[in-house]
Amino acid sequence: MTEPSSRRSPLHDVHVREGAAFTDFGGWEMPLKFGSELAEHTAVRTAAGLFDLSHMGEIVVLGPQAAEALDAALLGELSLVEEGRARYTLLLNEQGGVLDDLVVYRTGQDRFLVVANAANREVVAAALRERAAAFDCAVQDESDDVGLIALQGPLSLDVLLETGGFSADGDGRTEERFAELVRGLGNYRFLAGEFRGHPVLVARTGYTGEYGFEIFTASGVLAELWSALLSTGRGSGVLPVGLAARDTLRLEAGMPLYGNELLPVTTPQQAGLGRLVRREKRADYVGRAAVEATEAGSGRVLVGLAAEGRRAGRKGYPVRAGDREVGVVTSGALSPTLGHPIAMAYVDQDARAAELSIDVRGTGLPVTVVPLPFYKRKA
């Protein structure tokens, strides 16, 4: 008998009314789906979908040396990030393995918001406190007070602006000013504003491969915000979306998931994130020596695999070259958008040019190595 999930989203009762089926995710009871997984996936690709991300961790690092502390703690050079911008980065261990992947928002000159995966919230908070101890700054875990919703899909901007009640922060807090600013938001940028008098942070970030937004606000405001966005968008095909469709969306977009593609034993280079390693970074950081010593030809690397038919390789299935096992699937599914099976897998580098197959319960499924991402939205 499995242990019950220990935590519930501020939107749990809302999801119950929507008929959600729930599952445990990182110790949280979260919606797996609200109806058809295929319909939810398709809604995000063709209209928009609304996601509850309240399980994510929100950790604030603030103080005169907050930037320096994060430079020493994380792979990225956060001191170079301007206010109003965000950066995707990694928390590494001494061996260069990934403890978590993060998005860090610079919300002020001396203030950063670090967003961690649900299961790693305490790991990230503890690591940041330890690594920031020598700097003049504080690390505060504000996860219990912050709610997060994602609105993703080609109609997300229209839905956001039609919902009403949003205004820009600062002088002249009008809906017109908010609309002007949000239309001009580039990828990985954000703005501070209000929703019906409550502070919000609206960011052009997401994990679906689509145009969209992530909106932070106080946990107590989340239900009102969710209901307003969903009510506005339903007539245009907007649906609430659960974890099942979220997973196929990020897989199609070739986005790694912690616990699947990212692990404490995988380096950024193995995971296809070598672009994040900047040898010119000024500050030392935990794991630097290990990742910079990683040889380009060492270890298994993450690849995309495509197949024909309807059967799909799943996490943990072996990848073979003839009778030799040369890798393992980390994520796999029948792609709703592309109509054929896709997978990400760690494969021996010298086997990438070989004829490969996924062992699907004893039967070989021929696969081809293809570039990531599998799907890329039209501009």
- For 62-76, 102-116, 163-177, which range has the lowest pLDDT when averaged over its residues? 163-177
- Return d(Cα 6, Cα 93) in angstroms, integer: 28
pLDDT tens sequence across 308-338: 999 999 999 999 999 999 999 999 999 999 9
Residue 32: inside a domain: yes
CA dihedral 180, 184, 187, 189 (to 10 degrees): -60
The pTM for the full model equals 0.96
Residue 180: inside a domain: yes
Given a contact cutoff of 8 angstroms between Cβ atoms, the answer to whether 114 and 61 are in contact is: yes
Given a contact cutoff of 8 angstroms between Cβ atoms, the answer to whether 159 and 231 are in contact is: no
Sign of the C-alpha dihedral computed for residues 216, 217, 219 and 220 taken in this order: negative
Confidence of residue 76 (pLDDT cuts 50, 70, 90): very high
Q: Residues 6 or more apart from 111 whose CB is under 8 A from it?
A: 60, 61, 62, 66
The DSSP call for residue 259 is T
Same domain assignment for residues 172 and 313: no
pLDDT tens sequence across 252-278: 999 999 999 999 999 999 999 999 999
- Return d(Cα 111, Cα 122) in angstroms, integer: 20
Task: Residue 99: name the closest of 54, 55, 57 by CA.
Answer: 57
Q: How many domains does the chain have?
A: 2
Q: In CATH, what number is assigned to the domain containing residue 330? A: 2.40.30.110
Residue 219: inside a domain: yes
pLDDT tens sequence across 118-161: 999 999 999 999 999 999 999 999 999 999 999 999 999 999 99
CA–centroid distance for 368 within its chain: 26
Confidence of residue 296 (pLDDT cuts 50, 70, 90): low
Position 6 scores a pLDDT of 76
Pairing of strands 49-52, 239-241: parallel
Confidence of residue 299 (pLDDT cuts 50, 70, 90): confident
- Return d(Cα 330, Cα 311) in angstroms, integer: 16
Q: Which of 251, 267, 285 is the last residue of a domain?
A: 251
- Return d(Cα 59, Cα 73) in angstroms, integer: 14
Instruction: Please state, rounded to an integer, the average pLDDT across all residues of the chain.
Output: 95
Residue 329: inside a domain: yes
Task: State the residue range of the domain holding 365.
Answer: 296-379
Q: Which of 186, 221, 251 is the last residue of a domain?
A: 251
pLDDT tens sequence across 170-224: 655 688 999 999 999 999 999 999 999 999 999 999 999 999 999 999 999 999 9
Q: Count other C-beta atoms under 10 Å from residue 260's C-beta.
A: 17
Q: Which of 251, 266, 286 is the last residue of a domain?
A: 251
Q: In CATH, what number is assigned to the domain containing residue 232? A: 3.30.1360.120
pLDDT at 3 over 80: no
Position 298 scores a pLDDT of 66
pLDDT at 4 over 60: no
